[in-house]
Structure 1
């Protein structure tokens, strides 16, 4: 995990790293967990691991984020053992993993839905669902691409809905029976989310370190003054935010190594490991905005104010 997420190259193309993380950690990781008892899943894993298809992970919905256990997407078991996947209302649309065919390659998703068997709600279960191929969406699957955020490399975040999508019996991952403890089963099914909580947060550490380094190099090269040219790094107003960012980056780098080690410690139970990932994410997220605001100060002083953050400003 460290060798993949900590190198500074992760900050070079965050969009590519987000795609790869969803693909490898969430989609492949979830399917692989069931492959020991399900050798038929190996063909799908081979397709994903050779990147003939891009993996997605569809858990949260428009109306259900942190309370994903209450999601409303349904998978109704038919008499022949197959399933019919449906989005019953707008609030049950899956948000916001990429699902359009814009990338020009097939997409396979782990979709979480409420399993209904003969009118009985068996709880939230994961299903392997083909979303699209290189040419277009699969039957019954609708993808509505969200607007691109200004200043970012495009990623086709989407709102995805399902309309009478037929799934073969083997699409279900795990048992169709109701779990004795639905909460524990649900947390086990989404375990890779905890891994992603830690791994994606580690990428922020690289971003902080790179931002501090860029600001420091620029401040050494940027000269001001009439006769005696001085680098702006000579000014304390420039030194303090940059040095703070570099220091925070080093401390968070060490904390990331410790957190990964503890997270992978099998002596800790699942709740403790989830807690380690969550605390790390909160600390990194809280540490970053202050650094980002301060490091942007030199840019603001060069006449690029808040309007430069919006897409329309590129016309001027």
Structure 2
């Protein structure tokens, strides 16, 4: 299989793919350069792919998972070329480097575990690349199919009349394609349920300003950008009916970790009577994490807060606290939308029933 670029022509408002297997290697749309430039990274090793994940060239839990699956293919190829029958043992260091790239995104570990199972099933001495590429491609295809299903389920919850608000980027750039929360928004817009999408800037990396706004403009969906500090005032004016976000990990009780700022958005939504929706595939649900306190929160460099575009914006001598994620309690979530179904007012029992279905 020389190339995989997921089909998108048969779905409206869906023109972007950020993860491509082409000419026997992985190509990633480097999101650090958007929206000013469209650049691709051509990756031939798992270690380089891990660096791309760590350095935010690719981000979003589902996209990280898909990328990691392809990276395992690269690791196996390199190990087989050097060690032949002992390839499996010699690729483990690369796989561990992948696993350490982003600690909060549970999809990363899920994808690595799935690919490890496929590795273990390959007969000794057989070239693993073709079988592993088939498995990685399947993960990619299933992610897009799940996103489209979630789009349909989530859009059905949105009644026409008022618009929606989103935080961070949860679209094609953050997934294999179509998106989670932005997939719901794509489907709802196509169905005529909403007219405009309000998007938080999402500091300090500005994923909303740089990525979500760019995606929606590319796919001709009206978008209005705002500082996240303005979200409560927008709600107070009655402009939005739903706040719709993604998740990097959901605990067994329904607590959801997502980009920093999501928790405060949920608090404001509850105060103003705005519904709050979390959209994520079941691969994002970690039933081993009892609640949000068990979810590791990645702490990133203070420079991301103290600087902007490499230029210092804070006073010299100031320090910064920079958690990349926060946890929204299940009690503030009106609906968790997955490819398996919708959980309203999530509880541990409801989450268990979902995962058994």
Which TM-score band applies after superposition, normalised by the shorter structure?
Answer: under 0.3
Q: TM-score, normalising length from structure 2? A: 0.24
Between structure 1 and structure 2, the one with the greater Rg is 1
Q: TM-score, normalising length from structure 1? A: 0.26
Is the helix fraction higher in 1 or 2? 1
